[in-house]
Structure 1
Amino acid sequence: MSALAVSGAIEAGLLFSLVALAVYLSFRVLNFPDLTVDGSFPLGAAATAVAIVNGIDPFVATAIGTVAGAAAGYVAGFLNVRFRILNLLAGILTMVALYSINLRVMGRPNISLYDHSTIFTPFEGVLDLGVWTNSAILLVIALAMKFLVDWFLATQVGLALRASGENPTMARAQSVDNNRMTLVGMTLSNGLVGLAGSLFAQSQGVADVSMGIGTIVIGLAALIIGETLLGPVRVVWATLGCLIGAVLYRFFIAAALSAGFLGIQAQDLNLVTAVVVAVAVILSQARRRLRLRLWPKLLGLLPRRQTQEG
């Protein structure tokens, strides 16, 4: 693989690590199977692209894209909380509706940003890292979001969110409003997705209405790979696993597409994705089974406390 291909894989991995963090919040913490991601990702890109084209500062435009994604997550959560629509169906309905909304926002299927300034533009002359400039900026952003998620989940609201997802009945007994936690979790999760879409559009120089297809699969793949490597026990390690898993996932995809002897072409991307996710799930389950087998044996090796009868 060339340096350009490696930097591109790392850049894409860091971008999708934000999606992995969002999937961790919704799937693991909140226990909400959210498919809104495939719609909120291009929504963040579309809102940012329209704002930049209309002369708004790129940093403000990025914030607009983030808020747009958060609004989409709130809608999905509201459908579930207010109208008791199944969480999976609420995400699907929101995702389907967002396709038309994204077309309305952009006014056309795609918007080019090649002749406009982005948040990466001010740093190009300062960092002067060549093909690694965007990767360095995205690394800082990804780490910042990782530490922000760690901090939030350690706050009182974050602990209530975790309790609501882990055991809603017990959380309700502790005066936690589960409906409110659902709205908070979905808003924050899709806010991260909107930020990822915004940065992706600025990095690639284009916002497209179909760019969100398969985003949820990528986020799940990164999450599962990270959990396989580091384990999902502690929040700090789980969020770090999201970053590492996303980068490794994109690196695997780039390596597979670059290996000419395998005969893999660009149209095989979805097949490669499915294989990578399946392998990650199998390895995760194998690791869990191995741990369950070894733990009783390790306990059996511990010396038993001798009891004396007086």
Structure 2
Amino acid sequence: MIEGIFVEGLIYGIMALGVFFTFRILDFPDLTVDGSFPLGAVIMAMAIQKGICLSAGILLAFSGGIAAGAVTAVIHNKLKVPHLLAGILTMTMLYSVNIRILGNRANLPLMRKETLLTKATAFTHGTLSETWTLLLFFVLVVLVIKVLMDLFFHTDMGLTFGAMGGNTQMVISQGVNPATYKVIGVGLSNGLVALSGAFAAQYQGFADVNLGQGIVVSGLASVMLGEFLIRSNRISMLTLRVVIGAIFYKAIMFLGRYYGYTIHLTPNDLKLVSGILIIGALVVTQMKKPAKGAK
């Protein structure tokens, strides 16, 4: 049970890292996430269905997410559409795109298909249980992604992203085009989200066009829970707390699903719980800011 919470938390932690990139680093509220998450899932599912190399399927899912994010940024930059509306437009269009990718179907089962997870389980067959194997696999995957992100944010481009989110005018004065960086940043963010969707499809055993419904709220809740649990300005800690926040969020959702009946809580109420968690984190953050100022 606990291992399953950690596995799901790590899978959605990849998505939360993408949300963290746009919402916290770029200061670009992006709702494309609700479309790019199932996009990664359906691309990976079709790659498995067609017998394409699994590594190529992962790369295709990541590339699809980058393309979706780039479309949102281009709509925002070229058409001067507000970022929220640009994300909604792309998310809406992706619903039809995802159905097209699945061959005009709403979902696709992956039972009895070879995936990266079945390969990992077969690799440790007889040594570790399936759950522990998956946990170890996703710990390694998330660790690699986290380290790569930490290294990226220490490069000139990564530092420019951080500066652009805080003060766009300063970046412009240095001769940097913020529009180009928004395309790159939003694209990379949605690439991570689509990658998370690809792993989620393999873990759940199916891909569905509705997998991303409300996923941006889950990502925001994970980011804010991480900020509530750990206070730091170091990039290595910022990315770590996002992953920890995702695991903590999944644990709360698990408790709500399996033990919420004691307070008459049903699975239909979980999105309400997610919203309350975000509001609670915002309230606590706002309360701490005046306290620091007074000190």
TM-score for both structures, normalised by structure 2: 0.94
Shift of 1:288: 2.9
* Candidates 23, 29, 33, aligned match of 1:33: 29
Aligned to 1:90: 86
Counterpart-to-counterpart distance in 1, 2:263 and 2:135: 28
Alignment check: 8 A CA contact 2:257 2:266 kept: yes
Offset of 1:132 from its aligned partner? Answer: 2.3
The aligned residue for residue 172 of structure 1 is 172
| Structure-to-structure mapping, 1:38-57, within 5 angstroms | 38-57=34-53
Residue 252 (structure 1) aligned with residue 252 (structure 2): yes
Q: Against the structure 1 CA distance between its residues 194 and 292, is the aligned structure 2 distance closer, same or farther, given a 3 Å change threshold? A: same
Find the counterpart in structure 2 of residue 109 from structure 1: 106
One-letter identity of the residue aligned with 1:208: D
State the partner residue of 1:99: 95
Opposite residue 283 of structure 1, the aligned amino acid is V
Paired positions, count: 290
Hey, what's the Cα distance between the residues in 1 that align with 2:110 and 2:291? 50
Q: Which residue in 2 is equivalent to 1:73?
A: 69
Q: How does 1:207-226 map to 2 (within 5 A)?
A: 207-226=207-226
Cα deviation for residue 232 of structure 1 reads: 5.3
| Partner Cα distance (1:231, 1:176) in 2 | 31
Displacement of 1:36 in angstroms is 0.2
Distance 2:241 2:73 in 1: 26
- Residue-by-residue CA offset, 1:186-231 (whole Å, 9 max, x unaligned): 1110000010000000110100010100110000000001111213
- Tell me, which stretches of 5 or more residues in structure 1 are unaligned? 295-310
Partner amino acid, structure 2, of 1:288: K
Q: 1:232 to 1:184 in 2, by over 3 A?
A: farther
How many angstroms apart in 2 are the aligned matches of 1:11 and 1:101?
29
Could you tell me which runs of 5 or more consecutive residues in structure 2 were left unpaired when the two chains were aligned: none
Task: Give yes or no for contact 1:228–1:287 (8 Å, CA) kept in 2.
Answer: no
Q: Which residue of 1 aligns with 2:130?
A: 130
Kindly indicate whether residue 116 of structure 2 is the aligned counterpart of residue 119 of structure 1: yes
Matches within 5 A, 1:152-171: 152-171=152-171
1:235 matched to 2:239? no
- Cα distance per residue 1:92-112 (max 9 Å; x no partner): 100010001101111200001
CA distance in 1, matches of 2:241, 2:279: 18
Code of the aligned partner of 1:282: V
Q: CA deviation at 1:262?
A: 2.2
Distance 2:241 2:289 in 1: 16
Match of 1:308 in 2: none
Change (3 A) 1:110 1:152: same
Report what 2:190 is aligned to: 190
SS at match of 1:120: helix
Paired residue for 1:150? 150
Q: Point out the more displaced range, 12-21 or 42-51.
A: 12-21
SS at match of 1:207: strand
Cα shift at 1:165: 1.8
**Cα distance in 2 between the residues matched to 1:156 and 1:163:** 10
User: How far apart in 2 are the matches of 1:52 and 1:242?
Assistant: 30
Counterpart position of 1:263: 264
Secondary structure at the residue paired with 1:291? helix
The residue that corresponds to 1:278 in the other structure is 279
Please say if residues 256 and 262 of structure 1, whose CA atoms lie closer than 8 Å, have aligned partners that are also in contact: no
Q: Which segment is superposed worse, 183-192 or 256-265?
A: 256-265
CA distance in 2, matches of 1:283, 1:125: 46
Give me the whole-angstrom Cα distance separating, in 2, the residues matched to 1:188 and 1:237: 20
What RMSD in Å do the two structures reach over aligned CA positions?
1.4
Tell me how far apart the structure 2 counterparts of residues 97 and 64 of structure 1 sit (CA, whole Å). Answer: 19
Identity of aligned residues (%): 37
Contact 1:22 1:192 in 2 (8 A): yes
Moved over 6 A (4+): none
SS at match of 2:211: coil
One-letter code aligned to 2:151? W
